[in-house]
């Protein structure tokens, strides 16, 4: 059985929900995201609940092969480290979002994934609408957001983190294919950000656990050009595409539709398509 989502047809591993520790929650999740329960214990990957000692709230996690659980935790690990030490507004990702006279632009992250980039952007005060088409990834993301909200109820004032809650309140999530969503809903938004999965040339031992899970679950995104085209028709200010530093730009039908600017960091490039500039040159 493959992951069941209308457009996420690139899934390369079978996925089901483990009902062993939390049967009621498993049933609810199965209905909510239309995912099967792993009755035969035959799925390559399972979504299940990971309990950590002293933590009153279990984490929804992805389990596969002999890897440890993959879950989203906005309050600790890499995300917390980047929040505290990542460089704030000076980070290339944040600078790529730009500025408007009226204030911070609104952002739609069309490829939300594990929410890392959205979290960085939201931590700088931007309102971010996240879209993720993989039901499994959207389920992990929804659980990560909800746990921060629940922590206010479960944890003492000393342990809870109101600043973190403030960041999470800047983020909202929709499980959908972003191309379909942009074309059908025509949302009003200043910046559309996209970070499609880039095909791995060779197996890289250093690829992080989260990224490996994504590669197994959703595979490379082969339709990013369609998403970019839809984003260019929708954003009012700019579209930002994250690419590995040496990767070519995304090719569109019109080869003259190229980025207006780029911001680079050691391994990454942010290609910026300015809507005003593209309109001025008659390309949009
Ligand atoms: C490389 S990951 C994004 C990682 C993310 N920037 C982060 O910080 O965690 C790409 C994600 O985009 C999602 N995706 C790709 N194309 C999409 C589309 N058209 N609509 C919605 N999600 C999409 C994939 O399912 C995958 O989870």
pLDDT, tens digit, for every residue of 204-256?
555 677 888 888 888 888 899 999 999 999 999 999 999 999 999 999 999 99
Q: What is the pLDDT of residues 136-180, one digit of tens each?
A: 999 999 999 999 988 777 766 667 788 899 999 999 999 999 999
Pocket flag, ligand 1, residue 178 (CB < 6 Å): yes
Pocket flag, ligand 1, residue 96 (CB < 6 Å): no
Rg (CA), the chain: 19
Pocket flag, ligand 1, residue 179 (CB < 6 Å): yes
Contact predicate 133/143, CB 8 Å: no
Using the predicted structure, report yes or no on whether residue 7 has a pLDDT greater than 50: no
- Cβ contacts of 40 within 8 Å, gap of 6 or more: none
Q: How much distance in Å is there from the Cα of 133 to the middle of ligand 1?
A: 7
The full set of domains in the chain, from first to last, is: 71-280 (3.40.50.150)
Contacts within 8 Å (CB) and 24+ apart, 47-55 = 47/15, 47/16, 47/17, 47/18, 47/136, 47/139, 47/140, 48/17, 48/18, 48/20, 48/21, 48/22, 49/18, 49/21, 49/22, 49/25, 51/21
Mean pLDDT calculated for residue range 260-267:
94
Q: What is the pLDDT of residues 182-197, one digit of tens each?
A: 999 999 999 999 999 9
The owner of tokens 């109820």 is 153
Q: What is the pLDDT of residues 94-116, one digit of tens each?
A: 999 999 999 999 999 999 999 99
- Return the percentage of the chain with pLDDT > 70, whole number: 90
Atom of ligand 1 lying closest to residue 137 CA: 27
Which pair of tokens denotes residue 3?
Answer: 């992951």
Using the predicted structure, report yes or no on whether residue 13 has a pLDDT greater than 90: no
Give, for ligand 1, the residue of 5, 13, 112, 209 to mutate: max count of ligand atoms closer than 8 Å to Cβ. Answer: 112
Pocket flag, ligand 1, residue 3 (CB < 6 Å): no
The owner of tokens 């995300």 is 79
Atom of ligand 1 lying closest to residue 120 CA: 8
Atom of ligand 1 lying closest to residue 116 CA: 8
Residues linked to residue 22 through DSSP beta bridges, in sequence order: none
CA distance 152 to 51: 19
For residue 169, what is the enclosing H or E element?
A: helix 162-169
For helices 162-169 and 116-123, the axis angle rounded to 10 degrees is 110
Is 89 exposed, middle or buried (CB count within 10 Å of its CB: 0-12, 13-18, 19+)?
exposed
Nearest CA to ligand 1 atom 12: 111
- DSSP for 192-247 reads EEE-PPPPPSS--TTS-HHHHHHHHHH---S-HHHHHHHHHHH-SSEEEEEEETTS
Pocket flag, ligand 1, residue 116 (CB < 6 Å): yes
Give, for ligand 1, the residue of 7, 10, 132, 140 to mutate: max count of ligand atoms closer than 8 Å to Cβ. Answer: 132
Pocket flag, ligand 1, residue 129 (CB < 6 Å): no
Q: How far out from the chain centre does Cα 183 lie?
A: 20
């Amino acid at each position: 059985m493959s992951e069941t989502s209308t457009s996420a047809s690139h899934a390369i591993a079978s996925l089901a929900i483990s009902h062993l520790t939390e049967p009621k929650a498993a049933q609810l999740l199965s209905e909510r995201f239309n995912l099967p329960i792993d009755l035969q214990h035959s799925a390559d990957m399972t979504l299940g609940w990971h309990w950590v000692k002293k933590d009153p709230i279990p984490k929804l996690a992805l389990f596969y092969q002999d890897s440890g659980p993959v879950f989203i935790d906005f309050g600790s690990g890499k995300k917390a480290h980047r929040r505290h030490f990542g460089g704030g507004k000076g980070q290339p990702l944040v600078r790529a979002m730009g500025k408007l006279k009226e204030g911070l632009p609104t952002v739609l992250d069309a490829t939300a994934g594990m929410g890392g980039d959205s979290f960085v952007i939201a931590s700088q005060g931007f309102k971010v609408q996240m879209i993720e088409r993989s039901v499994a990834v959207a389920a992990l993301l929804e659980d990560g957001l909800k746990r921060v909200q629940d922590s206010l109820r479960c944890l003492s004032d000393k342990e809870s983190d109101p600043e973190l809650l403030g960041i999470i309140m800047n983020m909202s999530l929709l499980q959908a294919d972003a191309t379909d969503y942009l074309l059908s809903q025509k949302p009003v938004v200043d910046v559309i950000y996209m970070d499609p999965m880039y095909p791995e040339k060779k197996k890289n031992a250093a690829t992080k656990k989260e990224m490996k899970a994504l590669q197994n679950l959703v595979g490379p995104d082969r339709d990013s050009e369609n998403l970019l085209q839809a984003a260019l028709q929708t954003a009012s200010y700019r579209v930002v595409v994250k690419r590995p530093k040496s990767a070519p730009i995304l090719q569109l039908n019109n080869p003259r539709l190229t980025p207006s600017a780029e911001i680079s960091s050691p391994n990454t490039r942010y290609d910026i398509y300015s809507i005003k500039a593209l309109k001025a040159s008659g390309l949009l």
